[in-house]
């Protein structure tokens, strides 16, 4: 779903009414009479049924981080989640942080800031709440060709900070890190980016670093089974939350770019220019996996990414992908360390990411251009009510 559709309150994807209400959408903090909201003034409420940062379109920048508790004290964690929730609510309104305000983002508005918190499996053991760990938080299985760096994977607490300004995103991370001192320390941190609002003339699906239109066939919020795919209905404290799978996926861009465009298109099953499926039509035309070309060959090859990943190939498995690109300098061999910070929100990873990745890793034709280098699975608690904090159902 598109960013401008939300900003403009029109058309595709999340309807403006829905986002401003239950879903917690974007609105101008001080809207001018008829002008569209300025990028800086765009504010996304922190409080709501679901945490912000799931249903909103990707912002231009992301900071992802995981923290490990430095002690095993449940009441210290409760204080931290209260403090973090209070700070996130202030920052998303465009107010100073209070404690540890460092002025990095002074002068800027909230820039669509969202702060999303998750809990890793290890957290529950650490604070003596093993019995409260949801079964869906069982560790992800090992997949063929995984090359995971555990130091950049997992973690007790996970934070996703999205904003349309890099200083605003960094500011929020730095404040949260300093507020955690004595209770939790940074385990890993990664920065990512996505298209900046206003970069294209009209609302468009974004592109990844392989040049593909990416995000087209995400579950649509206006479809009846959307909530059942993305949000969990239990157990107790986590109802209304979600699970996020994170994968740092490096792209072998030199190999990819040596492939002619028509072959690149058969790797995905969609046209590179406009994202239309190779079975015909435009980007939004439903994919016809059975369609054959006049020569009898499948229009969408048997190992094309969209065929292997499709819900129809995986017993209905679905997830809401919300990834960001990254670029992190050079590798020792001189190639770019670049790719996708893949994030997928779902009601149950065993009925979402796991079956799909099992099939992809066994050999869709995109996999040979990718390396999965880090991984995480976190339960994303439901949103906090005004005056409450994220994780309250578990920690109070
Ligand atoms: C679709 C790229 C990794 C699941 C797509 C599309 C592209 C794409 C270009 C078509 C447009 C769209 O519908 O969004 C990539 C790249 C990846 C990657 C570059 C890695 C760097 C993954 C992973 C999963 C996944 C790890 C899940 C395990 C899906 C799904 C679809 C999709 C479910 C929609 C299929 C459909 O129903 O049409 N991906 N993808 N992708 N991808 Fe990926």
Ligand 1 binding pocket includes 84 (Cβ within 6 Å) = no
Give me the torsion for CA of 320, 58, 362, 331, rounded to 10°: -160
Query: How much distance in Å is there from the Cα of 212 to the middle of ligand 1?
Result: 10
Predicted local confidence at residue 35, as pLDDT:
53
Mutational pocket test of ligand 1: of 309, 323, 369, the residue with most ligand atoms within 8 Å of the beta carbon? 309
What is the DSSP code (8-state) at residue 115? E
CA dist., res. 115 & res. 84, Å (int)? 9
Q: Which two tokens stand for residue 80?
A: 């931290």
Angle between helices 166-179 and 74-92 in degrees, nearest 10: 150
Is the whole model's pTM more than 0.95, yes or no?
Answer: no
- Centroid of ligand 1 to alpha carbon of 278 (angstroms): 15
ipTM exceeding cut-off 0.90 for this assembly: yes
> Does residue 305 have its Cβ closer than 6 Å to ligand 1?
yes
Question: Best mutation site among 278, 305, 377 for ligand 1, i.e. most ligand atoms within 8 A of its Cβ?
Answer: 305
Give the whole-angstrom CA distance, residue 318 versus residue 221. 13
- Answer whether 276's CB lies under 8 Å from 282's CB: yes
Residues contacting 173, CB < 8 A, separation 6+: 63, 65, 159, 161, 189
Q: Is 214 in the pocket of ligand 1 (CB under 6 A)?
A: yes
pLDDT at 32: 44
CB 246 within 8 A of CB 192: no
Confirm or reject: Cβ of 340 under 6 Å from ligand 1. Answer: yes
Could you tell me where the DSSP H helices lie in 9-120?
A: 16-20, 74-92
Does the beta carbon of 210 lie inside 6 Å of ligand 1? yes
Beta bridge partners of 250: 339, 371
User: Which pLDDT belongs to residue 2?
Assistant: 37
Q: How far does the centroid of ligand 1 lie from the alpha carbon of residue 225, in Å?
A: 20
Per the residue annotation, which of 214, 233, 262, 364 is the catalytic one? Answer: 214
Whether 246 and 120 have beta carbons less than 8 Å apart is answered as no
Q: What is the pLDDT along the chain (396 residues), one digit of tens a residue?
A: 333 333 332 223 333 333 333 333 454 444 444 555 589 999 999 999 999 999 999 999 999 999 999 987 999 999 999 999 999 999 999 999 988 999 999 999 999 999 999 999 999 999 999 999 999 999 999 999 999 999 999 999 999 999 999 999 999 999 999 999 999 999 999 999 999 999 999 989 999 999 999 999 999 999 999 999 999 997 689 999 999 999 999 999 999 999 999 999 999 999 999 999 999 999 999 999 999 999 999 999 999 999 999 999 999 999 999 999 999 999 999 999 999 999 999 999 999 999 999 999 998 999 999 999 999 999 999 999 999 999 999 999
Contacts of 318 by beta carbon, 8 Å cutoff, 6+ apart = 219, 229, 311, 346, 352
Residue nearest ligand 1's atom 7 by CA: 214
> How many angstroms separate the CA atoms of 122 and 120, rounded?
5
- Ligand 1 lined by 370 (C-beta under 6 Å): yes
Q: Determine phi and psi for 316, rounding to 5 degrees.
A: 85, 0
The closest alpha carbon to 175, from 101, 269, 225, belongs to 101
Residue 254: count other Cβ atoms within 10 Å of its Cβ: 12
Report how many helices (DSSP H) and strands (DSSP E) the chain contains, helices first.
Answer: 11, 11
Residue 37's pLDDT is what? Answer: 58
Active site residue 214: yes
Of 251, 321, 363, the one to substitute when testing ligand 1's pocket (max ligand atoms within 8 A of C-beta) is 321
The whole-angstrom separation of Cα 212 and Cα 65 is 26
Separation CA 5–CA 163 (nearest Å): 17
């Amino acid at each position: 779903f598109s960013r401008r559709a939300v900003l403009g309150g029109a058309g595709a994807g999340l309807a403006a009414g829905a986002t401003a209400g239950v879903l917690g959408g974007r609105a101008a903090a001080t809207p001018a009479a008829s002008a569209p909201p300025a990028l800086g003034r765009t504010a996304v409420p922190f409080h709501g049924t679901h945490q912000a940062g799931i249903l909103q379109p990707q912002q231009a920048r992301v900071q992802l981080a995981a923290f490990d508790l430095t002690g095993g004290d449940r009441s210290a964690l409760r204080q931290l989640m209260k403090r973090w929730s209070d700070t996130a609510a202030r920052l998303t309104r465009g107010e100073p942080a209070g404690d540890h305000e460092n002025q990095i983002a002074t002068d800027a508005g909230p820039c669509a800031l969202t702060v999303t918190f998750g809990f890793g499996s290890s957290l529950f053991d650490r604070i003596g709440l093993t019995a409260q760990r949801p079964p869906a938080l069982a560790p992800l299985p090992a997949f063929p060709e995984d090359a995971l760096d555990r130091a950049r994977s997992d973690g007790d607490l996970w934070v996703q900070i999205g904003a349309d300004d890099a200083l605003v995103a960094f500011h929020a991370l730095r404040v949260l890190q300093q507020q955690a001192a004595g209770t939790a320390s940074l385990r890993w941190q990664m920065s990512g980016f996505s298209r900046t609002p206003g970069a294209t003339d009209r609302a468009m699906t974004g592109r990844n670093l392989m040049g593909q239109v990416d995000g087209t066939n995400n579950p649509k919020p206006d479809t009846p089974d959307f909530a059942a795919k993305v949000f969990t209905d239990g157990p107790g404290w986590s109802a209304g939350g979600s699970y996020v799978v994170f994968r740092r996926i490096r792209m072998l861009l030199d190999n990819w770019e040596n492939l002619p465009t028509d072959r690149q298109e058969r790797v995905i099953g969609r046209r590179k220019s406009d994202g239309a499926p190779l079975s015909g039509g435009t980007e939004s035309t439903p994919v016809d996996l059975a369609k054959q070309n006049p020569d009898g060959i499948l229009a969408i090859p048997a190992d094309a990414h969209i065929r292997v990943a499709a819900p129809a190939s995986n017993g209905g498995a679905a997830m809401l992908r919300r990834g960001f690109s990254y670029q992190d300098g050079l590798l020792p061999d001189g190639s770019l360390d670049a790719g996708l910070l893949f994030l997928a929100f779902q009601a149950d990873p065993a009925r979402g990411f796991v079956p799909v990745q099992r099939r992809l890793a066994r050999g869709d034709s995109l996999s040979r251009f990718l390396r999965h280098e880090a991984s995480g699975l976190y339960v994303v608690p439901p949103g906090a009510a005004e005056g409450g904090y994220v994780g309250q159902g578990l920690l109070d």
